[in-house]
Structure 1
Amino acid sequence: MTSIFPARKAPDNLPRPVHWGTAAVCRDEEFHPDVWFPVPTDLVGIEFAKGLCRRCPVQMRCRTDALNRGEEHGVWGGLDEDELRAVRRVRRAAAAKQAAQEKQAAEEPGALAKAG
């Protein structure tokens, strides 16, 4: 019987790339995990977490990852819960607009050039 899997496997001792999160400020044991999840009405706590994010070398990677995963709670990449929701709302609106333009272009050749 023939297998669909290769007979040889890659060795498991190959070096793996270091995950970007290992360089994050939030990995520092100095800060309790609750720092990143302040109560939404705790403006001082939110600003404290954002201040730590601003000095983080992987802030943008964290933000992008949180937006892609749909994080709803806490401070991620320097954005609080309300800011994360706002960015997602803008992204959805842009995607809907692009989809409508593509649909219109498919129905009416040359419409995309006019819409741009």
Structure 2
Amino acid sequence: MTEISRLPGPVMDLWEWQYQGSCRDADDTLFFHPEGERGSARRRRAEAAKAICHSCPVLQQCREQALRIREPYGVWGGLSEDDRAAILADPRRAQAV
């Protein structure tokens, strides 16, 4: 479960960047895997979501936020759940967050 104390407060300046995300008009099911999705279907869906992230003007803010709050689900900032877990598991990479 996400650690609530790490979530941003109700100050619009902290999350207003989300309005500029390339994903705002995309189908959210592309960014979150359905129950039981595995293997190549999951990889294809995640890669399609990451392709949207690739040209996003707020990619860095989204990625930093997802890593900072340890977002457990979905593709955020061009990183899947597994990508984020690998970054956070590596002390050298996690320090950069």
Regarding TM over 0.5, the answer is yes
- What residue number does 2:90 align with? 90
Amino acid at match of 2:69: R
Q: Does 1:24 align with 2:21?
A: yes
Aligned residue in 1 for 2:75: 75
Structure possessing the higher relative contact order (Cα contacts under 8 Å, 6 or more residues apart): 2
In the alignment, what sits opposite 1:60? 60
Matched, 1:37 2:32: yes
Distance 1:94 1:81 in 2: 15
The unaligned stretches of length 5 or more in structure 1 are 1-15, 96-116
CA distance in 2, matches of 1:69, 1:21: 15
1:19 aligned counterpart, secondary structure: helix
TM-score, length basis structure 2: 0.69
| Structure exhibiting the larger radius of gyration computed from Cα positions | 1
Structure 1 residue aligned with 2:9:
none
Work out whether residues 40 and 46 of structure 1, in 8 Å CA contact, stay in contact via their aligned partners in 2: no
Which one-letter code corresponds to 2:60 in the other structure? M
- Report sequence identity in percent: 36
Runs of 4+ deviating beyond 2 Å: 38-41, 91-95
Distance apart, 1:43 and its partner CA: 1.1
**Equivalent position of 1:6 in the other structure:** none
Cα distance in 2, alignment partners of residues 88 and 94 from structure 1 = 5
Partners of 1:51 and 1:44 lie apart in 2 by 11
Contact 1:49 1:78 in 2 (8 A): yes
Structure 2 residues not aligned, in runs of 5+: 1-11
